[in-house]
């Protein structure tokens, strides 16, 4: 019996009937579906397999530093000094938004208006009922119930939390001083749900709850979302054009190391809690072929992947930003002084 | 052929006293001696390898957690602050959550497991016995993530609606009952996490209990029945003392499983890092905290704090098992 | 009430309590299985076993995850059974009562409670970081770490309870201890050892956390143990927590497959061992 085991394992181990993936990457959970979609189509077209696994932005950063993968992915961009210290180069791929969702029977999606300051106060626990005067001030004419507010946040560290807390820290000085911004913070109040799924489930199960999720979850679950007031003072709904507007009005040219947060961008149509997700590769490639393959894949994603990304509720980067990034590759990712790949 | 002795067989004590170096009895083929030595040292090697592996894990955890221990000292164990932004970490919340959920789940699972295994061995109609045994073991084969999802989507809402809300509505928040059972009524709390854990460890314990009960020689049980014992008395006075050592082992197994279970607990425990105020309050365990935050932890101190938590879990397990062993050794007459 | 009647009544209460306990356990099983079946059965189609995991919105199956899980579980169980049964045998036979035996038994129990994610981290440091790559080997080894202590514990408990008359009879006939253990004790403890193996397998078949940092996972089919390998639990984990209906459906199918696999191996194992089981 034991012999059978060992022989069987040996045979399976040697079996190499199918090709293994050619490049590997790991990191953020947010873009995993779109990278999987791109990888599937890319393999069908070119035969090259790109295996991406979502182990978290922190995991992505750790693994690229440990050189166990060909590229890392992170929702939180690394600052230029961190990049320089590790010898990495980062570039964004797609854009998405974080949406506040709530459970208020009788209130339709998009009926409630919120501002960053107000959202911060709610998550600080300063506002405890839905019919509080601060909320009523922004929502004249809406019949707000007296239900107590239950805050739901993420229990696990995540780029979504990073975006959300960064936004709150920008708009609410109390939040900035008491809590701060990170992918994992000490939440002053509320329940922790695991993953976007957990937050969505808790919100759904608790009347009066408010939480935050990635746009894809809000859309797929038909959640009750709020309109947010952006920098231009307008109240916008979360949707692909609003995220694209935020990405388009950002100042990419003046962002050294491509470190950019798309929060609270000036365009009147922009959704204030938008963020891009980033790829990390080494500036100096030990294996130029692998580096070239990574860049080729993302070039394909830029040129041909827009439709696929949109079908999964992701927003592609604006065309001019893509051109700029492709030009960057020639001098940012090199091996022995020569560019690893020159994009078209 | 004489009748077999009816004395209760005692555990063999080959390891002490008896001369076991008779590797090759007189007249046996010479090859035996080598085979004997090889086998004995293969077994010893396996046991030592196990020890070394555990040692390796504990040492690597200690080294990884050292920065956190150095930074926070003893306060790490008593502080409930867990602030990744300010890089201040304290393990009290997860430690308490781990202990409460594990013991509570054992409290629920042990009588259930005993009841199930006794039922299967004594009272169950023979034809039903095997299918029910397999059904109970099937519970062990369900992936822990399914328990987590089931807990989150089915148990939690049910619990909130049928247990927490009635209590909240009928008892004032300040009363004794109100205080013990305080907490947001959404079903995600320490108590429901313990229930899920109990269902998870139940099949392991029931399966091994049943195997243990089946090793009792039928003559012994029949003798007891012959003396007029009821099934309950047979179990209590004959079967359980016979398998007592094994039962302790099973309880350790169940407790160990409960202390380290990750996925099932993470979904439903509510994940707040502070001290839980009541049974129906949300909390966290060491395993759930590590599972939640390790993938995203980028800073050295955060990672180190999480690994330090892991090391603490080993220490807790060590202490709990040692204490349990001591207590049980004294209880044995 | 006469003493006899009292004892009978007490026994009656006991029977009822045991039946209730069994009922509770079975209802929990039924409820969870109901959830599994209602969500998982609908997703089963011909493609599950023939196609690899898809991107959201594309058709596909779970072939790469199933094969990966089989390979890594087989590797893990092979290691766990070898080391576990040998170590458990040592604890029960050679080391019983010795101080070293106490130490090994104790630390084995500690290892049982190790959170699987920490084991995964340790194996990462051992087999992934130094070799700059995730692999199926690392995944299999991590699973072995989780299954072995359970096998050891159960093996020791079962072997200890084998009647010493068996050992004495063997020795009296002139067999060496190794022979007695291998051919007599192991044989008579066969169902117990099988249970040990089944419990170990049940434990590792659904484990996600240790595989995340060792075998990583793979979107494509890969049977090479030196490369990242997909597995059912990691795929379930990724798909169940996503926003997409088709991915969630596949996740439940995967969970159902694991439960069915454990059930199947359980039944097959018991049938095979039935011949030598002593009543």
CB contact under 8 A, C24 and B230: no
CB contact under 8 A, A157 and B272: no
Distance from CA of A14 to the nearest CA of B (A): 27
CB contact under 8 A, B296 and A57: yes
User: Which pLDDT band holds residue A210 (cuts at 50, 70, 90)?
Assistant: very high
Predicted model pTM:
0.79
CB contact under 8 A, B292 and A59: no
**Phi, psi angle pair for B87, to nearest 5°:** 60, 45
- DSSP for A95-119 reads EEEEEEEE--TT--TT--EE-HHHH
Q: What are the distances in angstroms from CA A87 to CA A78, A82, A280, A334, B95?
A: 12, 8, 10, 12, 39
In chain C, what residues touch A8 (CB-CB under 8 Å)? 74
SS3 A273: strand
Which among C15, C206, C266 has CB closest to B123? C15
Beta bridge partners of A148: A129
CB contact under 8 A, B253 and C192: no
In chain A, what residues touch C55 (CB-CB under 8 Å)? 33, 36-41
More confident residue, A36 or A4: A36
Q: Are strands B88-89 and A235-236 parallel, antiparallel or unpaired?
A: unpaired
pLDDT, average across residues A181-195: 85
Establish if C58 touches chain A: CB-CB under 8 angstroms: yes
Q: Are strands A71-74 and A191-193 parallel, antiparallel or unpaired?
A: unpaired
pLDDT attached to residue B16: 43
pLDDT attached to residue C210: 87
Which class for B266: exposed (0-12), middle (13-18), buried (19 or more C-beta within 10 A)? buried
As a whole number of angstroms, the distance between CA B27 and CA A260 comes to: 85
Distance from CA of C178 to the nearest CA of A (A): 18
User: Which chain C residue has the Cα nearest residue A195?
Assistant: C241
Three-state SS annotation for chain C:
CCHHHHHHHHHHHHHHHHHHHHHHHHHHHHHHHHHHHHHHHHHCCCCCCCCCCCCCCCCCCCHHHHHHHHHHHHHHHHHHHHHHHHHHHHHHHHCCCCHHHHHHHHHHHHHHCCCHHHHHHHHHHHHHCCCCCCCHHHHHHHHHHHHHHHHHHHHHHHHHCCCHHHHHHHHHCCCCHHHHHHHHHHHHCHHHHHHHHHHHHHHHHCCCHHHHCCCCCCCCCCCCCCCCCCCHHHHHHHHHCCCCHHHHHHHHHHHHHHHHHHHHHHHHHHHHHHHHCCC
Instruction: Name the least confident of A249-263, B49-63, C70-84.
Output: A249-263
pLDDT attached to residue B137: 77
In chain C, what residues touch A38 (CB-CB under 8 Å)? 55
Q: What is the pLDDT of residues B98-126, one digit of tens each?
A: 999 999 999 999 999 999 999 988 888 88
**Phi, psi angle pair for A156, to nearest 5°:** -95, 155
As a whole number of angstroms, the distance between CA A121 and CA A133 comes to: 13
pLDDT attached to residue B182: 66
Which among B184, B266, B296 has CB closest to A194? B266
The pLDDT of residue A20 is above 70: no
In chain A, what residues touch C75 (CB-CB under 8 Å)? 9
As a whole number of angstroms, the distance between CA C143 and CA C148 comes to: 9
Tell me, rounded to whole angstroms, the distance of Cα C108 from its chain centroid.
Answer: 16
In chain A, what residues touch C228 (CB-CB under 8 Å)? 21, 24, 51, 53
Instruction: Locate all alpha helices (DSSP H) within A115-183, ordered by sequence.
Output: 116-124, 133-138, 159-171, 173-178
Distance from CA of A238 to the nearest CA of C (A): 16
Establish if A88 touches chain C: CB-CB under 8 angstroms: no
Establish if C182 touches chain A: CB-CB under 8 angstroms: no
Q: What is the pLDDT of residues C67-125, one digit of tens each?
A: 999 999 999 999 999 999 999 999 988 888 889 988 898 888 888 877 787 888 889 88
| Interface ipTM above 0.85 | no
Q: What is the pLDDT of residues A291-324, one digit of tens each?
A: 899 999 999 999 999 999 988 888 899 888 898 8
User: Which chain C residue has the Cα nearest residue A308?
Assistant: C57
- DSSP structure class, residue A336: T
pLDDT attached to residue C259: 83
CB contact under 8 A, B35 and C176: yes
Greatest distance between any 2 Cα atoms in chain C? 76
pLDDT attached to residue A10: 52
B86 Cβ contact partners less than 8 Å away, ≥ 6 residues apart: A180, A186
SS3 A302: helix
User: Which pLDDT band holds residue A90 (cuts at 50, 70, 90)?
Assistant: very high
Q: What is the pLDDT of residues C179-222, one digit of tens each?
A: 888 888 888 888 888 878 887 888 888 888 888 888 888 888 88
User: Which pLDDT band holds residue A247 (cuts at 50, 70, 90)?
Assistant: confident
Interface test with A, best of B295, B305, B307 (most A CBs within 10 A): B295
More confident residue, B325 or A147: A147
In chain B, what residues touch C21 (CB-CB under 8 Å)? 111-116, 119
Q: Which chains touch B (3 or more CB pairs under 8 A)?
A: A, C
Q: Which of B238, B36, B113, A68 is nearest to C176 (CA)?
A: B36
**A214, A196 in Cβ contact below 8 A?**
yes
As a whole number of angstroms, the distance between CA A181 and CA A204 comes to: 26
Interface test with B, best of C33, C35, C79, C113 (most B CBs within 10 A): C113
CB contact under 8 A, C158 and B49: no
Q: Which of A107, A102, A99, A118 is nearest to A142 (CA)?
A: A107
pLDDT, average across residues A222-250: 90
CB contact under 8 A, A55 and B295: yes
In chain A, what residues touch C77 (CB-CB under 8 Å)? 5
As a whole number of angstroms, the distance between CA C134 and CA C207 comes to: 17
CB contact under 8 A, B39 and C122: no
**Phi, psi angle pair for A221, to nearest 5°:** -90, 0
Establish if C201 touches chain A: CB-CB under 8 angstroms: no
In chain B, what residues touch A156 (CB-CB under 8 Å)? 291-293, 295-296
As a whole number of angstroms, the distance between CA A58 and CA A157 comes to: 9
Beta bridge partners of A98: A214
As a whole number of angstroms, the distance between CA C82 and CA A88 comes to: 45
CB contact under 8 A, C111 and B262: no
Distance from CA of B195 to the nearest CA of C (A): 11
As a whole number of angstroms, the distance between CA B294 and CA B188 comes to: 22
Interface test with C, best of A30, A31, A36, A218 (most C CBs within 10 A): A36
CB contact under 8 A, A195 and C241: yes
CB contact under 8 A, C242 and A12: no
User: Which chain C residue has the Cα nearest residue A220?
Assistant: C243
CB contact under 8 A, A216 and C57: no
CB contact under 8 A, A206 and B186: yes
Query: Mutual orientation of helices B286-293 and C116-123 as an angle, nearest 10°?
Result: 50
CB contact under 8 A, B36 and C19: no
Tell me, rounded to whole angstroms, the distance of Cα B125 from its chain centroid.
Answer: 30
Interface test with B, best of A53, A54, A58, A208 (most B CBs within 10 A): A58
Which among A181, A182, A202 has CB closest to B188? A202
As a whole number of angstroms, the distance between CA C140 and CA C227 comes to: 12
Establish if C269 touches chain A: CB-CB under 8 angstroms: no
**B268, B54 in Cβ contact below 8 A?**
no
In chain B, what residues touch A58 (CB-CB under 8 Å)? 294-298
pLDDT attached to residue A228: 93
Instruction: Work out how many CB contacts closer than 8 A connect A with C.
Output: 126
User: Which chain C residue has the Cα nearest residue A56?
Assistant: C212
pLDDT attached to residue B184: 65
User: CB A224: neighbour CB atoms within 10 A?
Assistant: 22
Q: Which chains touch A (3 or more CB pairs under 8 A)?
A: B, C
CB contact under 8 A, A36 and C228: no
Establish if B84 touches chain A: CB-CB under 8 angstroms: yes
As a whole number of angstroms, the distance between CA A316 and CA A311 comes to: 11
Q: What is the pLDDT of residues B271-327, one digit of tens each?
A: 777 777 777 778 888 888 888 887 777 778 888 898 898 889 888 888 877 877 776
Surface of B (114-143) touching A: CB under 8 A = none
Instruction: Name the least confident of A149-153, A281-285, B146-150.
Output: B146-150
Greatest distance between any 2 Cα atoms in chain A? 77
Q: Which of A70, A91, A102, A30 is nearest to A322 (CA)?
A: A91
As a whole number of angstroms, the distance between CA B79 and CA B27 comes to: 69
C212 Cβ contact partners less than 8 Å away, ≥ 6 residues apart: A55, B295, C117, C120, C234, C237
**Phi, psi angle pair for A95, to nearest 5°:** -125, 145
pLDDT, average across residues C5-20: 89
CB contact under 8 A, A155 and B271: yes
In chain A, what residues touch C242 (CB-CB under 8 Å)? 32-33, 197
* Mean pLDDT, all residues of chain A: 87
The pLDDT of residue C277 is above 80: no
Establish if C117 touches chain A: CB-CB under 8 angstroms: no
């Amino acid at each position: 019996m034991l012999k059978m085991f060992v022989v069987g394992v040996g045979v399976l181990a040697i079996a190499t009937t199918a090709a293994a993936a050619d490049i590997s990457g790991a990191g953020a959970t947010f873009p995993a579906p779109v990278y999987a979609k791109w990888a599937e189509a890319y393999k069908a077209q070119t035969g090259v397999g790109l295996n991406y696994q979502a182990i978290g932005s922190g995991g992505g950063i750790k693994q690229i530093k440990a050189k166990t993968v060909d590229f890392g992915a992170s929702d939180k961009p690394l600052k230029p000094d961190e990049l320089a210290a590790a010898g990495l180069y980062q570039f964004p791929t797609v854009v998405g938004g974080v949406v506040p969702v709530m459970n208020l029977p009788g209130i339709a999606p998009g009926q409630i208006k919120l501002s960053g300051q107000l959202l911060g106060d709610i998550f600080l626990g300063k506002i405890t009922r839905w019919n509080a005067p601060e909320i009523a001030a922004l929502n004249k004419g809406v019949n707000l119930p007296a239900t107590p507010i239950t805050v739901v946040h993420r229990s696990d560290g995540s780029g979504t939390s990073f975006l959300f807390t960064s936004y709150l820290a920008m708009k609410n000085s109390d939040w900035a001083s008491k809590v701060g911004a990170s992918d994992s913070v000490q939440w002053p109040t509320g329940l922790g749900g695991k993953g976007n799924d957990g937050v969505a489930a808790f919100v759904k199960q608790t009347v009066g709850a408010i939480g935050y999720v990635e746009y894809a979850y809000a859309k797929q679950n038909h959640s009750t979302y709020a309109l947010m007031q952006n920098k231009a003072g307008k109240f916008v709904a979360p949707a692909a054009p609003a995220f694209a507007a935020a990405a388009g009005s950002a100042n990419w040219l003046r962002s050294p190391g491509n470190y950019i947060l798309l929060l609270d961008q000036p365009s009147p149509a922009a959704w204030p809690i938008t963020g891009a997700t980033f790829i990390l590769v080494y500036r100096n490639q030990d294996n130029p072929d692998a580096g070239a393959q990574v860049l080729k894949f993302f070039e394909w994603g830029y040129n041909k992947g827009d439709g696929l990304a949109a079908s999964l509720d992701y927003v592609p980067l604006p065309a001019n930003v893509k051109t700029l990034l492709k030009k960057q590759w020639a001098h940012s990712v090199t091996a022995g002084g020569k560019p690893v790949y020159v994009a078209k | 052929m004489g009748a077999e002795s009816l004395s209760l067989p005692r555990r063999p004590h080959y390891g002490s006293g008896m001369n076991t170096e008779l590797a090759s009895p007189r007249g046996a083929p010479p090859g035996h001696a080598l085979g004997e030595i090889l086998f004995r040292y293969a077994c010893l090697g396996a046991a030592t390898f196990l020890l070394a592996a555990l040692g390796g894990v504990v040492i690597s955890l200690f080294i990884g957690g050292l920065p956190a221990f150095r930074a926070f000292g003893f306060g790490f164990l008593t502080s409930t602050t867990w602030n990744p932004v300010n890089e201040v970490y304290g393990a009290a919340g997860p430690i308490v959550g781990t202990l409460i959920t594990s013991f509570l789940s054992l409290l629920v699972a042990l009588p259930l497991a005993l009841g199930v295994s006794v039922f299967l061995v004594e009272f169950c109609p023979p034809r039903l016995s095997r299918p029910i045994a397999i059904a109970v073991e099937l519970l062990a084969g369900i992936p822990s993530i399914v328990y987590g999802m089931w807990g989150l989507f089915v148990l939690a809402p049910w619990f909130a609606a049928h247990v927490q809300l009635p209590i909240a509505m009928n008892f004032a928040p300040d009363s004794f009952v109100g205080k013990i059972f305080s907490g947001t009524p959404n079903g995600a709390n320490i108590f429901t996490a313990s229930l899920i854990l109990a269902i998870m460890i139940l099949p392991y314990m029931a399966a091994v209990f049943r195997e243990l009960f089946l090793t009792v020689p039928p003559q012994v049980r029949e003798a007891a029945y012959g003396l007029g014992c009821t099934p309950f008395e047979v179990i209590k006075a004959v079967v359980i003392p016979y398998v007592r050592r094994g039962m302790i082992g099973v309880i350790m197994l169940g407790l160990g499983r409960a202390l380290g279970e990750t996925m099932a607990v993470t979904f439903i425990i509510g994940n707040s890092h502070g001290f839980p105020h009541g049974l129906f309050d949300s909390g966290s365990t060491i395993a759930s905290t590590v599972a939640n935050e390790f993938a995203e932890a980028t800073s050295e101190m955060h990672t180190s704090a999480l690994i330090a938590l892991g090391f603490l879990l080993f220490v807790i397990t060590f202490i709990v098992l040692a204490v349990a062993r001591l207590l049980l050794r004294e209880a044995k007459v | 009430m006469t003493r006899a009647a009292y004892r009978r009544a007490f026994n009656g209460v006991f029977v009822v309590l045991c039946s209730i306990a069994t009922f509770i356990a079975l209802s929990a099983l039924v409820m969870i299985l109901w959830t599994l079946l209602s969500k998982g059965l609908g997703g089963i189609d011909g493609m599950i076993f023939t196609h690899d995991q898809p991107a959201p919105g594309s058709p596909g199956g779970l072939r790469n995850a199933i094969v990966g899980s089989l390979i890594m579980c087989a590797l893990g169980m092979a290691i766990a059974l070898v080391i576990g049964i040998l170590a458990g045998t040592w604890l029960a036979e050679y080391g019983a009562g010795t101080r070293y035996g106490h130490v090994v038994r104790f630390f084995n129990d500690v290892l049982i409670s190790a959170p699987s994610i920490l084991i995964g981290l340790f194996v990462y440091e051992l087999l992934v970081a130094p070799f700059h790559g995730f692999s199926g080997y690392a995944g299999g080894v991590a699973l072995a770490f989780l299954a072995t202590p359970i096998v050891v514990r159960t093996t020791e408990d079962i072997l200890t309870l084998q009647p010493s008359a068996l050992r004495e009879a063997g020795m009296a006939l002139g067999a060496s201890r190794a022979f007695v253990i291998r051919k007599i004790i192991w044989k008579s403890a066969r169902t117990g050892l099988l249970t040990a193996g089944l419990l170990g397998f049940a434990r590792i078949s659904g484990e996600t956390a240790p595989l995340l940092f060792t075998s990583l996972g793979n979107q494509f089919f890969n049977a090479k143990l030196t490369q990242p390998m997909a597995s059912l639990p990691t795929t379930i984990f990724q798909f169940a927590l996503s926003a997409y209906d088709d991915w969630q459906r596949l996740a439940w199918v995967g969970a159902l497959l694991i439960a069915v696999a454990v059930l199947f191996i359980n039944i097959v194992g018991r049938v095979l061992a039935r011949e030598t089981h002593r009543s």
